[in-house]
A and B are shown apart, each in its own frame.
Chain A
Amino acid sequence: MCVHLLKLIVLVGWSALTVGLVLPACNPAQAAEGGDEAGERREHSFERIPIPHLFARLRSTLPQGMKALTVNEQANVQPFTTHDVTDYFRAHNLPMNSGSPSQFKVEELEFLTNEEVSQRLGRAPLLRAANDQVGFVTLVGTFFFTGPPGTNTVIYSRAYAGFDAKTGNLLIFGALQPEVP
């Protein structure tokens, strides 16, 4: 009974597009069945739990990136050049790289579609049209990337950055190849 009531309230709340839902607390002694990972305690406490992801999925904003390059808007002209990208990285580091911009350089600039970048990186495509153009930059040198507490800092010899070919904004960044010891 409690589970059915909860499902009904979730559906109503979804339709009303409210951010927060006040759900009746389930009696822990009547915990719902199934779904929990094996070996984990089963407990339910659905008091005043916002469900933010439901509403974010309605209409996510397209990633904009951050201002980086000035785009040449002339027809049939490359939006930006290797020189432009090199100048950018002289003054700005690759996001989340703990090394210095003086430790790497631009190896290549290619204009690829969103789908091509996704396939090359083995990652999900950016939330935009498959044929949108991305200025994909391969960087070589020394890069230091670190994660959350307790993880190792890894030195990479190759990394990448992706710039929106329409706006020049920096969209994506990451590591391509670890340094061979």
Chain B
Amino acid sequence: MWRGLPHGMGVKLALGLCVLLLSARQSIAQYQCGDPTDGGHCYGTAFWRERLNYAGASTTISQVPMGCPSGCDGFINNEMWLVDYDTTACKDSLHGACWVEVGYQFLQNGDSKVFFWADNRPPTQGVYLGGAILGPVGENDPIGSNASYTIIRDDRDGVPPGTYQVYILNDFGTTRYGATSVGDPFSPDTIIIGTELAGVPANASVEAFDGNRFRSASFRNNIWAHFGLICCSGSNSGWTLQRDKGSTQSSNISTNPPFSHWEVAPGILPNDLGGIFVTRCCAGSANE
């Protein structure tokens, strides 16, 4: 590559490229996604609000690299939420909504990604936001592999009303997690998929999460359930593909990151699998 260049030009060119790359790296990881004093979390999400009460939802999320060069503040995740913004008890609660969520995340000072779930189920007395780390994202879930993330109301006989089951199942069947969310019945009216970013890196050039940087996470097989679980035999829950694009919303204080868009809008193809929504974070620009 350097053959034929005038003496010294190759070195100058290389130095110039290095300066350009370093400048770009330093200017890209600027975000404030911390607590309310810093503007709150940032999101790259799509949501649907077409039903009064979703019995459940499911999405398939691809595995992407997530990490932090050093000492990142906060966390980053790819996940799905089932949310009730409208029921009075939920709307009047501290957080302003009830929800169940499931996905995978990378936490500050963490060693690796983990599968997780969490919920906020007021107004059950004394029960507040909580969650669990289900397990590490390991060799069973390599980069590029997929897993389905499902939240479904449990309407089986003998199960207390308001119970939701959470499942994670990868394509190979080698990752199979389940969990149960209990609380007063609520009416999920919104399904949200996408990336959540939290944190305010003190040193923007290095202390920023590097999630999905060169490989976008995809969210496909976006479906919602007509009915909850009604029988252990499996003859339950008609599912429907998300046919509508819904709304795409991205971030708050620092619009992008996370970056997100519909790669394939729902309903475009006969077997579009509910569309393909992609997200990327945290460096770079929306057009990369």
Chain A residues engaging chain B, CB cutoff 8 angstroms = 7, 10-11, 14, 19, 32, 35-37, 39-40, 43-61, 63-67, 91-93, 95-96, 98-100, 121-124, 126-127, 144-154, 156, 160, 169-178
Contacts and interface: CB of A to CB of B under 8 A. Distances in A.
Given A66-B110, A98-B41, A149-B43, A126 B35 contact: no
Contact of A152 (B94, B108, B181): B94
B36 A44 contact: no
Interface string B239-277: 111010000010010000000000000000011010000
Contacts, number: 238
Nearest to B178: A60
A63 B132 contact: yes
24 contacts: A14-B233, A39-B52, A44-B238, A44-B240, A46-B238, A51-B234, A52-B58, A56-B169, A56-B177, A57-B167, A63-B132, A63-B134, A63-B179, A64-B133, A95-B107, A123-B127, A123-B130, A123-B182, A126-B132, A147-B99, A148-B81, A154-B129, A174-B131, A176-B128
Contacts of B35: 98-99, 144, 146, 153
A125 to B, nearest CB: 8
Nearest to A34: B227
Given A37-B52, A61-B176, A150 B85 contact: yes
Contact of A60 (B110, B177, B249): B177
Interface of B: 34-36, 40-41, 43, 45, 47, 51-53, 55-56, 58, 60, 73-75, 81, 83, 85, 94-97, 99, 101, 105, 107-112, 114, 116, 118, 120, 124-136, 148, 150, 152, 163, 165, 167-169, 171, 173, 175-182, 192, 196, 198-199, 221, 223, 226-227, 229, 232-235, 237-241, 243, 249, 252, 270-271, 273
